[in-house]
Amino acid sequence: MSKPTFYISTPIYYPSDKLHIGHAYTTVAADAFARYKRMTGYDVWFLTGSDEHGQKIERTAKEKGQSPLEYVDQIVSGFKNLWEKLDVSYDDFIRTTQDRHKKVVQDIFQKLYDQGDIYKAQYEGHYCTPCETFWTEYQLDAEGNCPDCGRPVEILQEESYFFKMSKYADRILKHIEDNPEFIQPNTRRNEMISFIKSGLGDLCVSRTTFDWGIQVPFDPKHVIYVWVDALTNYISALGYGAEDDSLFKKYWPADIHLVGKDIVRFHTIIWPVMLMATGVALPKQILGHGWLLLDSGKMSKSKGNVVDPLELCDKYGVDAIRYYLLRELPLGSDGYYSEEALVNRINIDLANDLGNLISRSTSMIVKFIKGVLEEPETPKDKVLLEQYLDSQEAPVEDRDLISLALRTRSEVEESMERRDISGALAVVWRLVGRANKYVEETSPWALAKNPEQRGRLSTVLYNLAETIRFATVMVTPFMPNFPGMVWQQLDIAGQPELHVWEALEWGKLPAGTPVAKGDAIFPRIDLKTLEKE
């Protein structure tokens, strides 16, 4: 039987010189969903890419004495480098300058024009001559000047093509209202409903003031508006309309377009209306996440307050950065980035809780039972285990720990279905906390002193090792590196069948496994020393 499919995308990024930790957040979150779905049996397609057209790029390239393509080429290789560093497991990287993309954008534009959904008219806007940019009234700054350079603007008209969005207003509103999952979280959904209800005008979809874009096929003086160009990437990358459209047939409609809240409107109104007009099915969900802010506001290059994810990875390790991003920010909300909060997460959650559980358990196994796991008293058979967990005879702390481990699996699954990554991590950490408490409750060091308690000691240490395996499997989609070290310490690196989601059944860790005490997986960080350095 073929696997169910799951198609997830990130936005395609503008080639600004450097991507910051806020951008990394979007992509790491998408990667976590992609890895989780792969682990739980889906055939996943994960798309990211770059949004390479527009006046800004044309201008910056000129300033640098480069062609726009030369300029974006270097930046795009920087993107790929960052995603590699962050272990982003994308399946395809689409560039809007690729022919496979340009052709689809032009074909759709032509089709919409032919069927009368695109028409030519006068566009009137506030024009900034030095920036050569049109602005709408509400884009202007508080003084009514250009939001980019602050200089006065003038009202100018230009000939443009318009897309009849208004014709589809009722249909898109009905779709959003009838399909609560289409826009998530609900706050974003409500914002979009009131936005549409306040009236949907037609959209200006071409420009003549710059050249760096995809030409209108029947009127090459015009280039196609960047959002129409950019949004199409989600289907052009799958080969929509191409000779080989097998990926499109297989993966479309997308399961999730993950985007920041600033671009939810483009994705939930312009994009679906374009698809409706083209006759293509709509994506199943637009998931709008919050922003990672700094005390000084939203990170942006112009404000000079960006935090570089590459530097952070070098300093703290990729898994730690991924963990921090995914745990700290509940997906729909904004959150504040601070290095102190990052170091606290590393020291408390990773070093104290998870790291300590692993190092104290492995060292006790080495010290008290010569490093080899022994057969526990707990039954492994599913039915017998259930009876055991229900019985009053088994030690209450064992019943508690094992049933929590089993429950954690289903709670992680439920959290991920709710698109709640931070919640999924929180339930795994509850298990880690429970296991640390179990160590205190069972005091293996005391059991080790009494040879009559050998059976109990073996069971306790086995339960700890098995809980570590459970927690490690469950955090694999979020932190893909550290599990390898745990598998080595548990000596099951060569048994991949024990690292998979399906293996989250109690008792699969074999007795006889030689456990090794390794280096601390997450060493503590001393912020003061670090600052001095």
Phi-psi region of 419 (alpha: psi -120 to 50; beta: other; left: phi over 0): left
Beta carbon of residue 230, minimum distance to ligand MSP (angstroms, whole number): 4
Q: Is 422 in the site for ligand MSP (CB under 6 A)?
A: no
Q: Is 12 in the site for ligand MSP (CB under 6 A)?
A: yes
**Out of 235, 259, 404, 498, the residue judged to bind ligand MSP by CB under 6 A:** 259
Find the Cα–Cα–Cα–Cα dihedral 149, 154, 155, 161, rounded to 10°. Answer: -40
Stretch that binds ligand MSP, among 6-14, 117-125, 278-286, 491-499 (CB under 6 A): 6-14
Provide CB contacts within 8 A for 72, sequence distance 6+: 15, 50, 52, 57, 61, 95, 97
Choose between 293 and 389: whose C-beta lies nearer to ligand MSP: 293
Choose between 302 and 391: whose C-beta lies nearer to ligand MSP: 302
Q: Binders of ligand MSP among 292-331, rule CB under 6 A?
A: 292, 298-299
**Out of 75, 196, 224, 263, the residue judged to bind ligand MSP by CB under 6 A:** 263
Choose between 334 and 381: whose C-beta lies nearer to ligand MSP: 334
Do the Cβ atoms of 444 and 461 come closer than 8 Å?
A: yes
**Out of 8, 11, 404, 458, the residue judged to bind ligand MSP by CB under 6 A:** 11
Stretch that binds ligand MSP, among 162-170, 225-233, 345-353, 402-410 (CB under 6 A): 225-233
Q: Is 291 in the site for ligand MSP (CB under 6 A)?
A: yes
Distance of alpha carbon 124 from alpha carbon 126, whole angstroms: 7
Beta carbon of residue 159, minimum distance to ligand MSP (angstroms, whole number): 26
**Cβ-proximal residue to ligand MSP, closest one:** 260
Q: Is the dihedral of CA 337, 342, 344, 349 positive or negative?
A: positive
Q: Is 212 in the site for ligand MSP (CB under 6 A)?
A: no
**Out of 6, 7, 8, 26, the residue judged to bind ligand MSP by CB under 6 A:** 26
Q: Is 18 in the site for ligand MSP (CB under 6 A)?
A: no
By C-alpha distance, which of 232, 208, 237, 250 is closest to 107? 232
Choose between 299 and 412: whose C-beta lies nearer to ligand MSP: 299
Choose between 189 and 469: whose C-beta lies nearer to ligand MSP: 189
Distance of alpha carbon 522 from alpha carbon 445, whole angstroms: 24
What does 191-239 look like in DSSP terms, one character per residue? HHHHHHHT----EE-EESS--SSPBPTT-TT-EE-HHHHHHTHHHHTTT
Q: Is 230 in the site for ligand MSP (CB under 6 A)?
A: yes
Q: Which residues pair with 92 in a beta bridge?
A: 47
Q: Is 262 in the site for ligand MSP (CB under 6 A)?
A: yes
For 448, the token pair is 């080790």
Choose between 260 and 317: whose C-beta lies nearer to ligand MSP: 260
Q: CA end-to-end span of the chain, whole Å?
A: 57
Beta carbon of residue 130, minimum distance to ligand MSP (angstroms, whole number): 23
Choose between 307 and 372: whose C-beta lies nearer to ligand MSP: 307
Q: Is 192 in the site for ligand MSP (CB under 6 A)?
A: no
Choose between 179 and 333: whose C-beta lies nearer to ligand MSP: 333
Do the Cβ atoms of 323 and 425 come closer than 8 Å?
A: yes
Q: Is 25 in the site for ligand MSP (CB under 6 A)?
A: yes
Provide CB contacts within 8 A for 188, sequence distance 6+: 261, 264, 268, 286, 288, 332
**Out of 14, 79, 109, 429, the residue judged to bind ligand MSP by CB under 6 A:** 14
Stretch that binds ligand MSP, among 11-19, 157-165, 354-362, 523-531 (CB under 6 A): 11-19
Q: Is 51 in the site for ligand MSP (CB under 6 A)?
A: yes
Choose between 23 and 322: whose C-beta lies nearer to ligand MSP: 23
Tokens 């050569």: give the residue.
Answer: 132
DSSP H or E run through 298? strand 297-298
Q: Is 29 in the site for ligand MSP (CB under 6 A)?
A: no
Q: Is 203 in the site for ligand MSP (CB under 6 A)?
A: no
Beta carbon of residue 22, minimum distance to ligand MSP (angstroms, whole number): 2
Q: Is 23 in the site for ligand MSP (CB under 6 A)?
A: yes
Beta carbon of residue 336, minimum distance to ligand MSP (angstroms, whole number): 11
Choose between 334 and 414: whose C-beta lies nearer to ligand MSP: 334
**Out of 7, 8, 22, 438, the residue judged to bind ligand MSP by CB under 6 A:** 22
340 CB neighbour count, 10 Å cutoff? 8
Choose between 96 and 476: whose C-beta lies nearer to ligand MSP: 96
Stretch that binds ligand MSP, among 111-119, 123-131, 256-264, 405-413 (CB under 6 A): 256-264
Strand 183-184 and strand 292-294: the pairing is: unpaired
Q: Is 94 in the site for ligand MSP (CB under 6 A)?
A: no
Sheet with 133-135, side-by-side order of all strands: 133-135, 118-128, 154-163, 203-204
Q: Which residues of 471-506 are buried (b: 16+ CB within 10 A; e: fewer)?
A: bbbbbbbbbbebbebbbebbbbeeeeebbebebbeb
Q: Is 252 in the site for ligand MSP (CB under 6 A)?
A: no
What does 352-407 look like in DSSP terms, one character per residue? IIIIHHHHHHHHHHHHHHTTB----SS--SHHHHHHHHHSSSS-HHHHHHHHHHHH
Distance of alpha carbon 4 from alpha carbon 448, whole angstroms: 49
Q: Which residues pair with 259 in a beta bridge?
A: 288
Find the angle CA(514)-CA(516)-CA(522) to the nearest 5 degrees: 140
Find the angle CA(478)-CA(230)-CA(169) to the nearest 5 degrees: 105
Q: Is 231 in the site for ligand MSP (CB under 6 A)?
A: yes
Using CB under 6 A, list all residues that contact ligand MSP: 11-14, 22-23, 25-26, 51, 230-231, 233, 259-260, 262-263, 291-292, 298-299
